[in-house]
Structure 1
Amino acid sequence: MDFIGAYSVGNLSYLLKGFLITLEVAVISIILSFVIGSLLGTLRYAKIPVSSKIVAVIVETIRNSPLLLIIFFSYFGLREVGLKLEIMPAAIMALTIFESAMISEIVRSGLNSIEKGQIEAARSSGLTYIQTMWHIILPQALKRMIPPLVSQFISLLKDTSLAVVIALPEMLHNAQGIYNGNVTYVIPIFILVALIYFIVNYCLSLVARALEKRLDTNQKDGKNGNRRIRAASLSG
């Protein structure tokens, strides 16, 4: 094991370039998959006769397919029908498709966890379905979704390494390029890559905890505000 040689300026710079690609692909995929997954999950929750069933078939098909297969299809399969994507767009497309299906189930489960009585009470008070979802259901469901969503985002970040099969120059791809030139670099490079993944994923978990606490605080403040309003109305 040659730690000094493995951690040379040139190797670290090359690994950093791969890490930046990993982050870029992960961030874009997270944003796209969250938006698409939220829409799909909400559609399934709404149980619209035709569209909900179509979405359910699509989601279940993707969820039960290997991500590696979707990556291969996005890069190699689409070329057979005339759609030639570059490596990075193909990787982002594959990750977005797969993660959107996963996130849609998290969103649907979060919405289903809210008591149906709240919807009935909100509708009976004159709120529309969209107003009920936006002001009553989603704020409560979002808090319950945070832990599984963060876990899914962490999985997405790690899943970017699977794009090495289509030669995406992400961190693991560049790590292989480094230790292929010198076998004594294998363990030092693996240790460094594992440490980088740990730091990034741990930071994500800390952000999730902070966000969850903030939502708890906002929810308590909202309840206290409602109590004060009711008290003022009774005293008036």
Structure 2
Amino acid sequence: MILASAFSAANLHYLMAGLGITIAVSIISILISFIFGTIFGIILFEEIPYFTKTVRLVVNTIRNLPLLLLIFFTYFALPKLGIQLNAFNATVVAMSVFESTMVAQIIFGGLASIGVGQIEGSISTGMNKMQTLWYIVLPQALKNSIPPLISQFISLVKDTSLATAIVLTDVMFRSQVIYGQNPNYMIPMFALVTALYFVVNYSLSLLSKWFERKLEV
């Protein structure tokens, strides 16, 4: 009886709408952080005078801060500076900034793993430094970085739940609303939310394996 009422059509519809918000925040943050993280990773690898040191300082600082602190800063502090963001946009900005630094380190590691001999060999064939990076080094680095990138993006999906602190109406927040109406719904909601997060993250794992197979062809 409790399960039937907990999983009523209205509750499930309400929860699925929250899952849509979780997925939307995750996808947007993944895309933004991948783009900027790759750029930052390349800058770290190339050792550009002065510029690389600045980027390294920013990356090392942000990646060692709590993500929740960044979420609070974007939602509560930025309005004091004249930048007003709703819960959705504040979460995307905070997660994109934080994850970009994580991706930067992963991409840098992937680039650094490529043998110096390959770089020297490509340059000796007449390629310039940029061509060597674009055609030889970066494709291999991205392939090597797929497993840690997927692990990081899975963490990103799970970390969206932190945004309940600023009342982002994601799947976790909505489950709290549902069992707040009836404490007996708590365990069913926890079980369902656990299953939903598993499905989303397992799908990411399958996607990473598909990418790896494509790159091996």
Task: Please give the range of the TM-score, normalised by the shorter of the 2 chains.
Answer: over 0.9
How far apart are 1:102 and its partner, in Å?
0.3
State the TM-score, normalized to the length of structure 1: 0.90
Tell me the distance in 2 between the aligned counterparts of 1:83 and 1:136. 41
Q: Which residue of 1 aligns with 2:99?
A: 99
Structure index of larger Rg: 1
Whether 2:45 is the aligned partner of 1:33: answer no
Q: Which residue of 1 aligns with 2:64?
A: 64
SS in 1 for 2:168: coil
Q: Which residue of 2 aligns with 1:123?
A: 123
Q: Report the residue type matching 2:153 in the other structure.
A: F
In the TM superposition, what whole-angstrom CA distance separates every residue of 1:185-218 from its partner, at most 9, and x where no partner exists? Answer: 000000000001101111110111121122112x
Greater mean alpha carbon deviation, residues 101-110 or residues 75-84: 75-84
4+ residue segments displaced more than 6 Å: none
SS in 1 for 2:99: helix
In the TM superposition, what whole-angstrom CA distance separates every residue of 1:87-123 from its partner, at most 9, and x where no partner exists? Answer: 1111100000000000000000000000011111111
Q: Which residue of 2 aligns with 1:74?
A: 74
State the TM-score, normalized to the length of structure 2: 0.98
SS in 1 for 2:65: coil
Tell me the distance in 1 between the aligned counterparts of 2:80 and 2:135. 46
Q: Which residue of 2 aligns with 1:227?
A: none
Whether 2:19 is the aligned partner of 1:16: answer no
Q: Which residue of 2 aligns with 1:174?
A: 174
**Identity %, equivalent residues:** 48
Whether 2:25 is the aligned partner of 1:43: answer no
Q: Which residue of 2 aligns with 1:222?
A: none
Q: Which residue of 2 aligns with 1:233?
A: none
Tell me the distance in 1 between the aligned counterparts of 2:129 and 2:212. 26
How far apart are 1:19 and its partner, in Å?
0.3
Tell me the distance in 1 between the aligned counterparts of 2:162 and 2:2. 27
In the TM superposition, what whole-angstrom CA distance separates every residue of 1:136-156 from its partner, at most 9, and x where no partner exists? Answer: 111111111000000111111
Unaligned stretches of 5+ in structure 1?
218-236
CA RMSD across the alignment: 0.9
Unaligned stretches of 5+ in structure 2?
none
Count of matched residue pairs? 217
Tell me the distance in 2 between the aligned counterparts of 1:111 and 1:175. 42
Greater mean alpha carbon deviation, residues 84-93 or residues 178-187: 84-93
